Amino acid sequence: MPPASRLSRRVTYTAAGLVLLLVAANSARAQATTAKPTTARPRDARTTRDARIADSLLALMTLDEKLGQLTQSPAGYGQTGPTVDAAGERDVRAGRVGSFLSLYGADVTRKMQRVAVEESRLHIPLIFGYDVIHGMRTIFPIPLGEAASFDSAAAYRSTRIAATEGAAMGLHWTFAPMVDVARDARWGRIMEGAGEDPYLGSVMASARVRGFQGDGLRTPTSLMATAKHFAAYGAAEAGRDYNVANVGERSMWEVYLPPFEAAVRAGVGSFMASFNEIDGTPAHASHWLLTEVLRDRWKFDGLLVSDWTGVQELLNHGIAKDPATAARRALGAGVDMEMSSTLYRSTLAAEVKAGRFPIARVNEAVRRVLLAKAALGLFDDPYRKVDVARERSDILTPANRTAAREIGRESIVLLTNRNVGSNPALPLRKDVRTLAVIGPLADDARSAIGAWSGAGRAEDAISVLAGIHRALPEARVLHVRGASIDTVSTAGFAEAERAARDADAVLLVLGERGDMTGEATSRASLELPGSQLALAQAVVHAAGQGKPVVAVLMNGRPLAVQWLADSTSALVESWYLGVEHGNALADVLFGDVAPSGKLPVTFPRVTGQVPIYYAHRNTGRPADPNNHYTSKYIDEPETPLFPFGHGLSYTTFGYADLRPSSSSIRPGDSLGVSFTVTNTGQREGTEVVQLYLKHDAASVTRPVRELARFSRLTLRPGESRTVRFTLRPEDMSFLDLDLRRVVEPGSLTLFAGGSSAAALESHLTLDGPTRVLAPVPPRMR
């Protein structure tokens, strides 16, 4: 291996510096042991150059330096923000760190990058990663809320802005999107994904990946995206975070894996392993999942990172007797970079030297880290044009706030809207004289930005109360907290009741505090926490008849709110909408914009119904109210409070003329589907039109219906439009008994409407031999 003196002391990552590096590396090529390229992508000049950089650096590196590249260290946090202490700087100089997480800010990232490229032996730049989940400084709706827009363009737009802001603050890599399908609302991290449906989840996963990565990773406004958590993290048993996922092989391939495959097809740069085990093997140690599925089946050639201490946690899982075993199992399964813990760095050198772990696997992982850095352009410009001026100019701009407001409007779901007198409760009149705004979340700007809010600040956010004041500058607004989220105290009820009696209209703002969803926030109960339900009951009683009492939810998961749905004038799901929460909500409440959101997840009547989702399979005894011995409850209906896809508008829509392009096709053919949608109300509105299909009979049981297509459609009063979709063979396929993807002969039922409860249906026949679209996948083990 050539001594460091053969390299310039300060390598400049230009063409000249690259040549110097390559010359030094080539002199040692015969002595180096490097991993072979694993990429299946076409090799253009850029990828060839990146590979030469990676291979040349591998030839120069010591084993300790290689393990340093596989180590991601967490930043600290000081009075001025993220920071790295003296020990961390020493690790960078010594080549013991390849990446930092949660280190952002133009000054501090430039400082640490300077240490890496000017003071370490091989001058390899660092990669800075962070959880940019739904915005960096401009915070957008939580991903579950944004999924309620059913608008992939909105998801692309928000992640494009988030990437631009994150990159301006020195980041290269985001640990997003989370693409876990989640069907148990008790799980706190349901707020980070797109809900319960694999098709919607796949569409949003693709959009978010493309938004984060923009026009290419080398552009200075891009972030490398991470598809997480691989896989089935959303199936945590009992909704308890980090728990076992008891998932069958068919469910893995049909429900939990499709959004991850969509992320691969969208070009995602990295994956993150999940905390859970699957069928006895933790994901961080699953060669089947991380290598056979991800790399061999899907041909993913990017970087795979652990979750926080995920490698170390193999000890707690009980599949490793010591840290060295845990490191061997994780790296051997396919985890390239270790986040937070340091088992790779502290144990694997000895394991390699003793012949207990192959150096080829270390080299393969290091090569992927280096290729990721090259793909991001860090060997050309390790600072990626980041400076304080750009940081100030690119974040929280008026245009970004406008985008947050517009996407927030689309994310709001109108759940119920009853008449008060002769008119619907919503929209509220702008000439209302006195409005009571009651509830513990009404003036909570911190909760408005939700969990995983990047570098967002509460002072940037518009609370519900602030949005009401802006929308109604002349009105008398009576604000009363009324109840606590944390206790069952009724101390504020009397004041709330007085406000309700004195007001012309009442707005109840209820739900969960922003820190009650996200990681490690599983709840055993989905009812309103604290004394909020009792507050709502007292306020509705005090308000009396003839006065609109509108309930607005702020939450990161479906809640069991049967009483609110039955007893208030209107019920609105607002999620956590980000920095423009109050403004976006006011736009909808007062009718400047009609609501258009649809639920991306089913709402239960009571917690005991969970998990509940629309695409369930039938039993041999489907629920029948006239037959006691059928699949139902004796104390609650088996149906949800609100089904997947539900959402009202300030107008109404009619569906008609659902027609397949042919009444009979051969398995493997595509199919056109059309239907007519009419705005049957009195104002313009946007409807999310939805097409579902059902296999009437098949060789294996199938869901009662599956979402196949959706689209947002804006119509004027009285306007009709024909919606046309094309279903591909893949849309009509499923996994047979051998897990081959096939299209079988038989009959299909199509459903079109505004939710998963759509009643308009049509039928067609698939006539001919079974068509095999894909062979048997690698079997779970």
Beta-carbon count within 10 A of 381 CB:
15
* Pair 605, 565: CB distance under 8 Å: no
**Cβ proximity of 114 and 86 under 8 Å:** no
* Active-site residue identified among 50, 91, 307, 336: 307
Three-state DSSP class for 496? helix
Angle at 19 between CA 15 and CA 22, to 5 degrees: 135
Cα distances (Å, whole numbers) of residue 247 to 232, 237, 333: 8, 9, 20
Report the alpha-carbon distance of residue 772 to residue 233 in Å, rounded: 30
Residue 588: φ, ψ to 5°: -80, -45
Three-state SS sequence of 745-774 = CEEEEEEEECCCCCCEEEEEEECCCCEEEE
Q: What is the helix (H) or strand (E) element at residue 692, kind and residue range?
A: strand 685-695
* Two tokens, residue 563: 């009483």
Give the amino acid at 346: S
Nearest to 210 by CA among 262, 165, 144, 172: 262
- Long-range contact pairs involving 444-447 (C-beta distance under 8 Å, separation at least 24): 444/513, 444/514, 444/554, 446/514, 447/512, 447/513, 447/514, 447/515, 447/554, 447/576
Distance CA 70, CA 367 (A): 10
Q: For residues 245 and 286, what is the distance between their CA atoms, to the nearest angstrom?
A: 14
Q: Are 713 and 689 in contact (CB under 8 A)?
A: yes
Q: Which two tokens stand for residue 248?
A: 């069958």
Question: Is residue 460 within 8 Å of 396, Cβ to Cβ?
Answer: yes
CA 722 to each of CA 60, 670, 683: distance values in angstroms, whole numbers, following the listed order: 63, 19, 19
Distances in Å between the alpha carbon of 237 and those of 315, 420, 453, 522, 632? 20, 43, 26, 11, 22
In the block, residue with structure tokens 């390699």: 352
Q: What is the DSSP pairing of strand 127-130 with strand 476-480?
A: unpaired
Alpha carbon distance 427, 430 (integer Å): 9
| Nearest to 177, CA basis, from 221, 150, 210 | 210
List of residues 6+ apart from 56 with CB closer than 8 A: 21, 22, 24, 25, 26, 29
SS3 per residue for 453-471: CCCCCHHHCCCHHHHHHHH
Cβ 513 vs Cβ 441: under 8 Å: yes
Is 307 among the catalytic positions? yes
Q: Is the peptide bond before 616 cis (omega within 30 degrees of 0)?
A: no
Task: State whether the Cα torsion 343-348-349-354 is positive or negative.
Answer: positive
> Which H or E run includes 254?
none
H-only helix segments in 606-665: none
| Pairing assessment for the beta strands 746-753 and 760-766 based on DSSP bridges | antiparallel
- Return the structure tokens found at 330: 């994780």
Closest CA to 699 of 768, 746, 662: 746
The residues that are catalytic are 307
